[in-house]
Amino acid sequence: MSSVLVVHILAAGLWLGCLATEILFEKAMAADAAVRGFVSELHDRVDRFVEGPAFVSTFASGAWLALDAVWTAALVAKVAAGLAAVGLNVWCLKIVLERADAARAGRWDEWERIDRRQHVVGTAVTLLSIAAAGLALARVV
């Protein structure tokens, strides 16, 4: 197994772990409006310092691996799902930062609008990431 593949697997795992963790604290926020500001700030920090570098590393290592890959229909599907997930995650990161800014400023009507968009885009990122990982695992087993 190449070192680039190891980096790719670890980065993708970290990215998926971040998504799972964020789902948990987003659910906690949905149950208690009093923690909206705290969870928005927490999500902002996780995205900036953990998830962002993880999905960028996943993208970069995946691009490196693609240079020598034998392209099959399954690989095309996995790469398409992965690229879509990365692209949407870039957008989602922007949304998360906007939501944290709205929370810091106490603009709760704006926060509500941004929050709804973040959940739609975040769900798409999660589903596409799981699809890409599932296609990768299907190849291994």
How far are the Cα atoms of 55, 105, 115 from residue 49, in angstroms, in the given order? 11, 22, 20
What pLDDT is stored for residue 139 in this prediction? 78
Q: Mapping DSSP to helix (H, G, I), strand (E, B) and coil, where does residue 6 land?
A: helix
Q: Which two tokens stand for residue 66?
A: 């693609």
pLDDT digits (tens, 9 = 90+) for 105-141: 999 999 999 999 999 999 999 999 999 999 999 976 5
- pLDDT tens string 18-56: 999 999 988 888 778 788 999 999 999 999 999 999 999
Domain boundaries, the chain: 3-140
The predicted structure's pLDDT at residue 25 = 86
Instruction: Report pTM.
Output: 0.92
State whether residue 68 is helix, strand or coil.
coil
Q: What is the pLDDT of residue 30?
A: 77
Determine contact, residues 43/22, Cβ cutoff 8 Å.
yes
Residue 122: per-residue pLDDT: 96
pLDDT band at residue 1 using 50, 70 and 90 as cut-offs: confident
Provide the percentage of residues in the chain whose pLDDT is more than 90.
Answer: 88
